[in-house]
Structure 1
Amino acid sequence: MRTSLRSRIGATAALATAGVLLVAGPASAHVTVQPSTAAKGASDQTFSFRVPNEKDTASTTEVQVYFPADHPIPSVLADSTPGWKADITTTKLKTPIQTDDGAITDAVSAITWTGGSIAPGHYQDFTVDFGQLPSDADELDFKALQTYSDGTVVRWIQTAQAGQPEPANPAPVLRLTAAANGAGSDGTPAKGGATGAAAAPVTASGSTASSGDDSTARVLGAAGLVVGLLGVGFGFLGWRRGGSARNSE
């Protein structure tokens, strides 16, 4: 009887584990900008372009991020990333940007990171400080190219369309919102990141790629499934044991 009971508990646990693996399967990992929202017109804001390695047999060796030409950003500062070199490309503007410090005639067109390596199963944060965000846009698309050691180039350049499924290779998007209360005259929050919170931490290349709200939701969903499956399993065992007791009477 005990052997049978243990077998049933083991089977129930195995079923629950299978449910966890089903629910908590690997999420799609894309190149993203973090934080993903900021105040319009804000200046001196820090963002990270998070680049995950999605290949099992090759490392990422080059990352290029292209800045929007229709809503230019006049200046950036690239933080030092161990093992990587950042090259910032600028372009001459047809229409200068008017700022409190005068007219800006050049804007950033791209940043290219080379020299480093992102191993399979890992990601890298490339941290950049933006001089000033535009105040006449609702979102900014940063198209990116990710080059692997086997020569493959993944183009994160697709734009999401309202009411349509997310594209396979979406471009990183920074959404711009109205300046928060208490912001300065240029829309800059008093302290912290783009929305007044602390800036996203820089993570070295050895970090494992799994975090954020999506991961939390998956874990909670998996935990709920485990509890439900265990409840069903033990309820079944209780019913069988009750039936066996009645039969013995």
Structure 2
Amino acid sequence: MMRKMLLALAAAALPALPAGAHVTVDPAQAAPHAYVRAALRVGHGCGTAATVRLTVRMPDGVTGARPMPKPGWTLVITPREEAAAPGDHGSAPEVAAITWEGGRLPNEHYDEFVLRFRAPNEPGATLWFAVRQECEGGAVTDWSEIPAEGRRISDYPHPAAAMRLIAR
């Protein structure tokens, strides 16, 4: 009886998980206006093809984004079009997107692509990180779907990676 109840509880929890999300962000929660070290987790390639390029678009309000270099991969940083505002450590263009390319992540392996940024001061907001995954042979998956009001992330086949800003 207890086993059946535990199985039922586990099954009920499954729809709340990002079932279609194959690129996720860790941590899933962060403090508003805090500096955050985040890892984009890539669980597999495109079908059986290896991932060879990963591009993440920075959500609005995110500032000071910087990627962590990854051995065997080249970094391409795309600045935002608007002018840079002076920050605590001098002026630098804000980042619109970060691309890791030239490496190879086989389909049967998992890896993380790390970046650091300052979250906007918006308690309760969700930051959506749209990620474009490109694989050998030209296969592409855009993990960029953002749930509409009243819908769940599990309703979408290619959801963007989500991070919720929680006041601590």
Which range, TM-score by smaller chain?
0.7 to 0.9
Q: Which runs of 5+ in 1 are unaligned?
A: 1-22, 181-249
Q: What is the distance in 2 between the residues matched to 1:162 and 1:106?
A: 33
Which has the larger helix fraction? 1
- Whether the aligned pair in 2 keeps the contact of 1:48 and 1:128 (CA below 8 Å) is yes
Matched with 1:122 is: 109
Deviations 1:19-48 (A, max 9, x none): xxxx9xxx65511110111000002x2110
Kindly indicate whether residue 70 of structure 2 is the aligned counterpart of residue 81 of structure 1: yes
Matched with 1:207 is: none
What TM-score comes out, normalization by structure 2 length? 0.76
- Whether the aligned pair in 2 keeps the contact of 1:93 and 1:105 (CA below 8 Å) is no
- Whether the aligned pair in 2 keeps the contact of 1:46 and 1:128 (CA below 8 Å) is yes
Deviations 1:66-112 (A, max 9, x none): 012x32x2212222222112222212436x7686x399673210000
- Whether the aligned pair in 2 keeps the contact of 1:29 and 1:54 (CA below 8 Å) is no
Deviations 1:161-182 (A, max 9, x none): 343242110001111111x2xx
Q: CA RMSD in A?
A: 2.5
Q: Which runs of 5+ in 2 are unaligned?
A: 1-10, 12-18
Secondary structure in structure 2 of the residue aligned to 1:150: helix
Secondary structure in structure 2 of the residue aligned to 1:135: coil
Report the CA distance shift for 1:84/1:102 in structure 2 as closer, same or farther (over 3 A).
closer
Which has the larger strand fraction? 2
Kindly indicate whether residue 36 of structure 2 is the aligned counterpart of residue 64 of structure 1: no
Deviation at 1:53, TM superposition (A): 1.6
Choose the corresponding residue for 1:53, options 40, 44, 59: 44
Larger radius of gyration: 1
Report the CA distance shift for 1:152/1:78 in structure 2 as closer, same or farther (over 3 A).
same
Q: What is the distance in 2 between the residues matched to 1:161 and 1:36?
A: 19
Deviations 1:94-145 (A, max 9, x none): 6x7686x399673210000001111122121001121x21103611111111
Structure scoring higher RCO (CA < 8 A, sep ≥ 6) equals 2
Choose the corresponding residue for 1:174, options 156, 163, 168: 163
Kindly indicate whether residue 29 of structure 2 is the aligned counterpart of residue 37 of structure 1: yes
Q: What is the distance in 2 between the residues matched to 1:29 and 1:106?
A: 30
Q: What is the distance in 2 between the residues matched to 1:174 and 1:91?
A: 21
- Whether the aligned pair in 1 keeps the contact of 2:21 and 2:161 (CA below 8 Å) is no
Secondary structure in structure 1 of the residue aligned to 2:159: coil
What TM-score comes out, normalization by structure 1 length? 0.53
Secondary structure in structure 1 of the residue aligned to 2:94: strand
- Whether the aligned pair in 2 keeps the contact of 1:74 and 1:104 (CA below 8 Å) is no
Q: How many residues align?
A: 148
